[in-house]
Structure 1
Amino acid sequence: MAVSSSLLPAHARPLPLSSVRLLPSVYANAVEVNRGYLLGLSADRFLHNFLQYAGLPPKAPIYGGWESDTIAGHSLGHYLTALVRTYEQTGDATCRERANYIVEELARAQAARGTGYVGALGRKRKDGTIVDGEEIFREVKQGEIRSGGFDLNGSWSPLYTVHKVFAGLLDVYESWGNPTALKVATGLAGYFADIFDALNDEQMQKLLACEYGGLNESYAELYAITHNKRWLAVSERLYDRRVLDPLEAGEDKLTNFHANTQVPKLIGLARIHELTNRPEPGHVAEFFWEAVTKHHSYVIGGNADREYFSAPDTIAAHITEQTCEHCNTYNMLKLTRHLYAWHPDGTYFDYYERAHLNHVMAAQNPKDGGFTYMTPLMSGAERGYSTPKEDAFWCCVGTGMESHAKHGESIFWEGDGTLLVNLYIPAEADWASRKAKLRLETNYPFTPESRLTLTALPDRQHFAIGLRSPGWAEGKAKVTVNGKAVAAERARGYLLVKRMWKQGDVLAITLPLDLRLEPAPGDNDTVALLRGPMVLSADLGPASEKWDRPDPSLVGENLLASLSAVSSEKAIYASKGIVRPADLKFVPFYSQYDRRSAVYFKRFTEAAWKVEESNFLAEQAKARDIAARSVDVMHLGEMQPERDHNLVSEISYPVSYRGRNGRDARSGGYFEFTLKCKPVEMVLQATYWGDERERSFDILVDNVKVATQTLKQDRPGKFFDVEYPLSTDLTKGKESIRVRFLPHDRSTVGPVFGVRLFTAKKDANVSL
């Protein structure tokens, strides 16, 4: 980053969320919808396992979804933080009272155990029964550590769940000083510190191969509160060398790493840097941020395909229905705030604004408060929202609760007596250090002007105000004071005005909202359309209607000139003659809650389209034909799909290769899973890599062998599909089948990079 200018502060901090109140807007509406969602949830249902496993009677039945799995308890941690942020954002005392109630119940459960531990996570034993997950930690303390990446001794990412509860408790304490919250958090910290102390470095690294969330951040925060150096030492020891050492060396080796597993680790390093002033953790966090935002991010600011990073600058090859897990962006925005505080630079908030508007706002359904897990960018894909209150409680429901509780947290910042406005969201704020009141009025990004009024200022004061001028504005932003143009200093993405301010002064900025095309990393001819910070998408119709047409493409020499405003104040545009197969309307992507969209488009010149059209459409038709006949798809090697399909395995491991995830099984092992089916002739399709060393394995359906597959190095450089026809004898009278992959002696299965089950061509129109 460049050195600080005379007006831009060297460091910055946000105005407290409790000092900001949102004015009417989609953001204020999101907070209110989320507040209703939060208050409609039952604290006692979240507390069920915490009490039951502590030997206390639960007060209500447990929730379903992930809360009924071995990861139970993570949602309560998110819920605590969401209640805290909602209280700060709105002043709703009910949220504070509910958080305090939860803390008292956790304290009761912790006291009943008597070990310092408090938790709801379960442990699945070999016989399939689920019991109190604390027993795995006794095994871990003895050095017995078994993990495939997300499982630890029969529990699903248990340290991840511990982190969420830990973080929620600390948020309650830091917001209003609840001493019980700190006591419970300290007891929990001591319990796990004792476990970590019993492990040597090799055992610790083996443990950290299992997802542990931002546990290092929570220990660092506990140190910041208590000044007990033991907690800082634990925080620094929670360091996954396999992932973090290359980043410290300035190497982007993120390919095929589970994305959200990594981001919290960097947030923890950022906090360690702030508390110790050691430069190395800060450098690692900065390098990671640069790598992700510049080389691994989609146009909406999200990252990862099917939860994993692909190779750098390959976004164009990964535009699928499984893009942009919400948790990733939630955590990237947290990391951005840390880095910005160290070095105020508008570039950070150019990213923040993009991800906040286009991804976070797309991830909440404003009708009922449901949340997306993924935000799909494949043309025609439907967003899938959680059903409120009952059946999901995915990780992204948890981060969704938090994200939509705090839309005012990053609008206003201050440093060295200067006010910085980073997000143009309608809001009022108290600026305590100058005893001032602020009012930001805007309909941006739909209209270009934003107006900041000093509604209260006790006396004339001389200071600077900086308004962020985004990089895409290309220096065309203009500022006025009380309606008159003024000279402003341009510094690192800001227009700064320093003068003697008085009550009633109005500082305004006007930003150009021109259309532009942005290529996807990896292919300059795969493009998205933006207007200012807002991603526009083609409206492909309601989600209730099936999308089975070719992906739209852009054809022409001057594409932007062929887009005309239908309503510039609503950012709605129409195309004329450039979209194939037919013209479409373009609208804000985030607002397509219950509609289908196209975000990325292949673009062609007229001459290139004539050459490409027949092949392009034929490939699209073939892929969509298979998709239309598909009854179920299994994404092997990916956490949630494997759980959804009840995968069980022995001596079997997830793998990643050339940007694709899969699973193998070694000699003596196997893996099997459930696929939905129809009672007709069907085709089982499996995907393999064409350059494997020779290996053989059997494929069984409901314990009947349907094929023996041999792989060898006969199709180098590509993946390929093999189809296995299934007769009606295997599907008659069934709604699902179990598919098993079984290696031959001294051989290996696959790896298999996905399995699909679809109806045979002649049965394509048969329905149940």
Structure 2
Amino acid sequence: MIVKMKRRFLLASAAAGSVNAIVPGGRQSAYAARLQGGFEADVTPVPLSNVRLLPSPWLDAVERNRVYLLSLKADRLLHNFRKQAGLLPKGALYGGWESDTIAGHTLGHYLSALALMYAQTGEIACRARVVYIVQELAVVQGQWSDGYIAGFTRKEKDGAMVDGKRIFAEIEAGDIRSSGFDLNGAWSPLYNLHKTFAGLFDAHIHCQCHQALEVAVGLGEFLETFFGKLTDAQVQKVLTCEYGGLNESFAELASRTGDEKWLHLARRIYDRPVLDPLMEEHDDLANRHANTQIPKLIGLGRIAEVSQDRRWMTGPEFFWKAVTQHHSYVIGGNADREYFSEPDTIAQHITEQTCEHCNTYNMLKLTRQHYASNPQAALFDYYERAHLNHILAAHDPQTGMFTYMTPTITAGVREWSTPTESFWCCVGTGMESHAKHGDSIWWQGKETLFVNLYIPSRMVWARKDVSWRMETGYPHDGRVSLLVEDLKSPIAFRLALRVPGWVREPIRVAVNGQDVPVTSSDGYIVLDRKWRVGDHVVLDLPMTVRTESPVDEPKLVTLLRGPLVLAADLAPAEGVYDAVDPAVVTDDLTQDLVPVEGQASVFRTIQSGRPSQLEFRPFYAQYRRRSALYLRCFSEAEWTQEEASYRKEQQRQKDIAARTIDVIHLGEMQQEHDHALRAENSWPLVYRGRNGRDLRSGGFIECTMKTRPGPLALKVTVWSADITRTRGARLLVNGRALPDVKWPADKPAQFVDVEALIPEAWVRGRKIFTLRIEPGSGRTSGPFFDVRVLSVRS
């Protein structure tokens, strides 16, 4: 489905218009907010090194992340870089993804995180480690002698892991093989190199490490030579494999070196099938891997900035609107099982496989980029929502560990990384996210200081030689206090305070104890005056409770208070949870709530909760709890009519989930990679909005599945009309065909689950088994969608 973008940004409310202030006597004050001629075009964040966080959940996250970063060993992350260059490694290889063919991606994230942490906190140990890593990379680069540095590997047909560099020679010779994540046997190698570039650039800018730029230029020269040997058609074939924001890397090289050749190369790293529709302002994102696409748009935006050609911003700006308005959950995250769905189908995709942290990390980068060229407060309505309710939710401040997914499904459990055996992509972006919580609070124009996030902090605005201190109980308390702490001499400039899109009531603003009348302009209250040491601004933002619903299901509600998304607290994450999903029976949930005394942002239903009354708490902080984020809302009459069928369906879904030992969603790259899928005469496809795999005669689909002791069954999801027409298929477990598989016949066209028992003796004593699907007697079989291993209840 292709949708032309027309709707406004749903997260930005009417607060972007005028705001009536509470004014004593109604007299126009000398401090009245006013705006002359609009905001400056050149708006940048105040440097992170000039911002220090004060006590708050954000500071807690930074401090815990700092401990984790310094617990890691740089030499272990450098293992493959040295080994592949013929140098003796100085540390053992880490586990998880660092032991797979994507090895080395974490080092780039780690460099960025250390550099950002140094800028955010001034921690000297972080800078020292950055300098050491860059020096080691320079040694590796010297050993290769052609600019190359990388830690990714390549898997040979016999399963042997070898250095990844050899894929470049194969590609130059015209041998280009990719299934989306895999490029000639290596896992997203260009994505991997983008992370290395990003880490080097952060080391250069935040740690003043000039050698980092030299290493980045050397790596750029290697890739320029490589791409220079490929035709445009071959480049497009290479770009079918996830390449991160490699176009951004080359644009950044152009910016930092002043050499136009890098901008030419950046423009060449352009994936036409994905980017052309977005540049034409068409949303065809459905069934595309979400985080593969977001960095590409950031890259286009960077090309626009460096080249000063705003035409390149068309795609990024449209993409941002499409994702935030039509593909985002209430917490600001997006995608189900890492993929975009059709626009405005959120209610159909509330699962345990939402929301990937990397996606939101990159959407916030895109938002910052968009804001710098178009400083509109509504952009930070989205930023605040996602930064608070998803980014904080994906990091446990007690352990310092990270989630890959933040589930939106009722009673979902956040699964946390381990210190040394995970190193998923979301561990890497998590390291970065919680090293830089001060990077978007304060922004600066030539004559305007913007406050976009209300996070307690101290800041030095070097442009005007003025220091500010912001104290607040935000996000639980809407009172924000801003104090001019230091200033050489009185100076005039504008202070622009963002009016959040969720504000529904009049705002109070006081300067030095005097209430002032205000109106908003482009979503800001602007105080234009000559500032002196000790000047004190107090902003009171009323935090009312409200509900929101997905566009496609008005009866599904979420509860919010101010910037916080709330969720019903159900139970601890540990242990079995088999209760019926909660619901509310009311015409207006906000009228059936009372605050819980002594607990910030906690509310309890009076009589609408079903099957019992519910207690709502901030979603982000329910790190090790099961919660209900989206709730079905019924009237009394509807509840009476639907209660029985509602509970029956909920129980059926819970039964499947409880019985599931393993599941593979065919046609999805990450799932197939994790299950070591092999296939011949089989192609991924999308059918009726679901990813799957077709299977042609003479081919097969083969993967590994987990098992456990006891009676088991295999459940395969198919489209009934197709499987009937193609006369079924053969399901083999460890090479033996399952008997008595009952394929559907003469059923209406619909998705159907086919379940067959697995003889216990076939998998006894094993942790995994090999599943193979072979076509039936027709020319094709399938498509096949989800495959599950289920326990069989006695």
Question: Are 1:751 and 2:783 an aligned pair?
Answer: yes
CA 657–477 in structure 1, closer or farther in 2 if over 3 Å, else same? farther
Is the contact made by 2:740 and 2:756 (CA closer than 8 Å) also made in structure 1?
Answer: no
CA 5–137 in structure 1, closer or farther in 2 if over 3 Å, else same? farther
Task: State the match for 1:575 in structure 2.
Answer: 605
Is the contact made by 1:692 and 1:712 (CA closer than 8 Å) also made in structure 2?
Answer: no
Question: Are 1:175 and 2:206 an aligned pair?
Answer: yes
Q: Per-residue CA shift, 1:726-751, capped at 9, x if unaligned?
A: 23333444443221111247733422
Shift of 1:708: 8.4
**Aligned partners of 2:753 and 2:663: how far apart in 1?**
14
Is the contact made by 1:256 and 1:657 (CA closer than 8 Å) also made in structure 2?
Answer: no
Shift of 1:137: 0.8
**Aligned partners of 1:246 and 1:571: how far apart in 2?**
43
CA 554–458 in structure 1, closer or farther in 2 if over 3 Å, else same? same
Task: State the match for 1:144 in structure 2.
Answer: 175
Equivalent residue for 2:629, pick from 599, 609, 614: 599
Is the contact made by 2:505 and 2:542 (CA closer than 8 Å) also made in structure 1?
Answer: no
Give the fraction of aligned pairs with identical amino acids, expressed as a percent.
51
Equivalent residue for 1:644, pick from 658, 662, 674: 674
Q: Per-residue CA shift, 1:369-406, capped at 9, x if unaligned?
A: 11000000100010001011x11000000000000000
Equivalent residue for 2:750, pick from 713, 718, 721: 718
Equivalent residue for 1:38, pick from 64, 69, 73: 69
Task: State the match for 2:31 in structure 1.
Answer: none
Equivalent residue for 1:512, pick from 518, 539, 542: 542
Written as runs of structure 1 = structure 2, the 5 A alignment for 1:198-209 is 198-209=229-240
Equivalent residue for 2:106, pick from 72, 75, 78: 75
Is the contact made by 1:326 and 1:373 (CA closer than 8 Å) also made in structure 2?
Answer: yes
Task: State the match for 2:334 in structure 1.
Answer: 303
**Aligned partners of 1:478 and 1:656: how far apart in 2?**
52
**Aligned partners of 2:745 and 2:292: how far apart in 1?**
34
What secondary structure sits across from 1:471 in the alignment? coil
What secondary structure sits across from 1:167 in the alignment? helix
Equivalent residue for 2:304, pick from 248, 273, 277: 273
CA 358–285 in structure 1, closer or farther in 2 if over 3 Å, else same? same
What secondary structure sits across from 2:282 in the alignment? coil
Question: Are 1:234 and 2:275 an aligned pair?
Answer: no
Task: State the match for 2:504 in structure 1.
Answer: 474
Return the letter of the residue paired with 1:24. Answer: P
Task: State the match for 1:676 in structure 2.
Answer: 706
Is the contact made by 1:296 and 1:310 (CA closer than 8 Å) also made in structure 2?
Answer: yes
Written as runs of structure 1 = structure 2, the 5 A alignment for 1:8-87 is 8-87=39-118
Written as runs of structure 1 = structure 2, the 5 A alignment for 1:230-269 is 230-269=261-300
**Aligned partners of 1:12 and 1:569: how far apart in 2?**
39
**Aligned partners of 1:251 and 1:335: how far apart in 2?**
18
Return the letter of the residue paired with 2:297. Answer: L
Structure 2, unpaired ranges of 5+? 1-7, 9-15, 18-34
Question: Are 1:615 and 2:632 an aligned pair?
Answer: no
**Aligned partners of 2:41 and 2:599: how far apart in 1?**
37
Aligned residues: 761
**Aligned partners of 2:768 and 2:205: how far apart in 1?**
50
Written as runs of structure 1 = structure 2, the 5 A alignment for 1:94-113 is 94-113=125-144
Over the aligned positions, Cα root-mean-square deviation in angstroms equals: 1.9
Is the contact made by 2:291 and 2:338 (CA closer than 8 Å) also made in structure 1?
Answer: yes
Question: Are 1:384 and 2:415 an aligned pair?
Answer: yes
Written as runs of structure 1 = structure 2, the 5 A alignment for 1:279-318 is 279-318=310-349
Bigger drift between 537-546 and 473-482 goes to: 473-482
Shift of 1:367: 1.2
Written as runs of structure 1 = structure 2, the 5 A alignment for 1:496-535 is 496-535=526-565
Shift of 1:409: 0.2
Shift of 1:661: 2.3
What secondary structure sits across from 1:756 in the alignment? strand
Written as runs of structure 1 = structure 2, the 5 A alignment for 1:351-500 is 351-388=382-419, 390-474=420-504, 476-500=506-530
Written as runs of structure 1 = structure 2, the 5 A alignment for 1:534-553 is 534-553=564-583
Shift of 1:715: 4.9
Return the letter of the residue paired with 1:649. Answer: A
CA 58–660 in structure 1, closer or farther in 2 if over 3 Å, else same? same
Bigger drift between 460-469 and 315-324 goes to: 460-469
Q: Per-residue CA shift, 1:200-235, capped at 9, x if unaligned?
A: 111111111100000000100000011111110110
Return the letter of the residue paired with 1:394. Answer: W
Task: State the match for 1:765 in structure 2.
Answer: none
Return the letter of the residue paired with 2:188. Answer: S
Is the contact made by 2:585 and 2:609 (CA closer than 8 Å) also made in structure 1?
Answer: yes
Is the contact made by 1:741 and 1:749 (CA closer than 8 Å) also made in structure 2?
Answer: no
What secondary structure sits across from 2:722 in the alignment? coil
Is the contact made by 1:5 and 1:491 (CA closer than 8 Å) also made in structure 2?
Answer: no
Shift of 1:160: 0.4
TM-score (norm 1): 0.96
Equivalent residue for 2:793, pick from 755, 761, 765: 761
**Aligned partners of 1:654 and 1:61: how far apart in 2?**
37
**Aligned partners of 1:567 and 1:135: how far apart in 2?**
64
CA 112–458 in structure 1, closer or farther in 2 if over 3 Å, else same? same
Shift of 1:657: 2.9
Shift of 1:181: 1.1
Question: Are 1:558 and 2:588 an aligned pair?
Answer: yes
Is the contact made by 1:697 and 1:747 (CA closer than 8 Å) also made in structure 2?
Answer: no
Task: State the match for 2:738 in structure 1.
Answer: 706
CA 597–480 in structure 1, closer or farther in 2 if over 3 Å, else same? same
**Aligned partners of 2:522 and 2:599: how far apart in 1?**
29
Shift of 1:654: 2.9
> Comparing both chains, which one has the higher relative contact order based on Cα–Cα distances under 8 Å and sequence gaps of 6 or more?
2
**Aligned partners of 1:524 and 1:558: how far apart in 2?**
12
What secondary structure sits across from 1:683 in the alignment? strand
What secondary structure sits across from 2:391 in the alignment? helix
Bigger drift between 673-682 and 106-115 goes to: 673-682
Is the contact made by 1:7 and 1:496 (CA closer than 8 Å) also made in structure 2?
Answer: no
Structure 1, unpaired ranges of 5+? 763-768
**Aligned partners of 2:755 and 2:194: how far apart in 1?**
44
Bigger drift between 109-118 and 157-166 goes to: 109-118
Equivalent residue for 2:216, pick from 185, 199, 204: 185
**Aligned partners of 1:526 and 1:656: how far apart in 2?**
27
CA 101–733 in structure 1, closer or farther in 2 if over 3 Å, else same? closer
What secondary structure sits across from 1:698 in the alignment? strand
Return the letter of the residue paired with 2:579. Answer: R
**Aligned partners of 1:516 and 1:14: how far apart in 2?**
31
**Aligned partners of 1:717 and 1:452: how far apart in 2?**
63
Is the contact made by 2:324 and 2:382 (CA closer than 8 Å) also made in structure 1?
Answer: yes
CA 750–710 in structure 1, closer or farther in 2 if over 3 Å, else same? farther
**Aligned partners of 1:564 and 1:545: how far apart in 2?**
30
Is the contact made by 1:446 and 1:568 (CA closer than 8 Å) also made in structure 2?
Answer: no
Return the letter of the residue paired with 1:490. Answer: S
**Aligned partners of 2:276 and 2:63: how far apart in 1?**
43
Bigger drift between 445-454 and 254-263 goes to: 445-454
Shift of 1:663: 2.7
Is the contact made by 2:42 and 2:445 (CA closer than 8 Å) also made in structure 1?
Answer: yes
What secondary structure sits across from 2:292 in the alignment? helix
TM-score (norm 2): 0.93
Is the contact made by 2:250 and 2:265 (CA closer than 8 Å) also made in structure 1?
Answer: yes
Q: Per-residue CA shift, 1:115-174, capped at 9, x if unaligned?
A: 211111100010110100000011111221100110000011110001100111122122
CA 746–140 in structure 1, closer or farther in 2 if over 3 Å, else same? farther
Bigger drift between 542-551 and 31-40 goes to: 542-551
**Aligned partners of 1:261 and 1:275: how far apart in 2?**
23
Question: Are 1:215 and 2:246 an aligned pair?
Answer: yes
**Aligned partners of 1:36 and 1:666: how far apart in 2?**
53
**Aligned partners of 1:558 and 1:490: how far apart in 2?**
30
